[in-house]
């Protein structure tokens, strides 16, 4: 969402997007579309902004390497709901991260505190780094 509209952390994510290969679970597309729908329903943005979010998402999404939502990912996510106590969507994201690569290969762009805690316990580093999270 940080790439769709300007909010706390957007500049940090834009910088990472410009310099790193961005890989994401295909589930993220559903989450992003849900966020757009929620912003539309709540009136968070005016029609001129809402009308540009769908096309902006499609443009950004074309530049992202996609991790498929496989049976293995789903089973791993289900296990994570038990072992680390994550909500279903966060467990899918963490399972996808685990399949993307280990902490020595991947940095995790994440602002959700529960998901950061779980990934941090597995040794992952973050965008933004922990030291910058207080700003958001």
Tokens found for residue 126 = 């973050």
| pLDDT value at residue 22 | 81
Half-sphere exposure of 111 (CA within 13 A, CB side): 14
Q: Quick one: pLDDT at residue 79?
A: 96
Domain boundaries, the chain: 10-129
Dist CA 2 CA 5 (whole Å): 6
Q: What distance lies between CA 104 and its chain's CA centroid? A: 19
Q: Please give the model's pTM, rounded to 2 decimal places.
A: 0.81
CATH class, domain 10-129, is: alpha beta
- Residue 95, classed as helix, strand or coil, is helix
pLDDT at 3: 62
Tens of pLDDT, residue by residue, the chain (136 residues): 566 656 666 666 677 666 677 889 999 999 988 988 888 889 887 787 778 888 888 888 888 899 999 999 999 999 999 999 999 999 999 999 999 999 999 989 888 899 999 999 999 998 777 766 665 5
């Amino acid at each position: 969402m940080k790439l769709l509209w300007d909010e706390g952390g957007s500049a940090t994510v834009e910088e990472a997007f410009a310099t790193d290969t961005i890989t994401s679970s295909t589930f993220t597309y559903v989450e992003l579309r849900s966020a757009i729908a929620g912003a539309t329903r709540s009136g968070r943005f005016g029609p001129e902004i809402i009308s540009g979010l769908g096309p902006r998402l499609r443009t950004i999404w074309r530049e992202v390497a996609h991790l498929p939502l496989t049976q293995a990912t789903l089973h791993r996510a289900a296990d994570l709901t038990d072992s680390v106590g994550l909500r279903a969507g966060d467990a899918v994201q963490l399972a996808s991260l685990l399949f993307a690569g280990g902490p020595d290969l991947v940095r995790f762009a994440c602002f959700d505190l529960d998901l950061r805690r779980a990934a941090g316990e597995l040794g992952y580093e973050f965008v933004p780094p922990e030291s910058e999270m207080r700003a958001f």
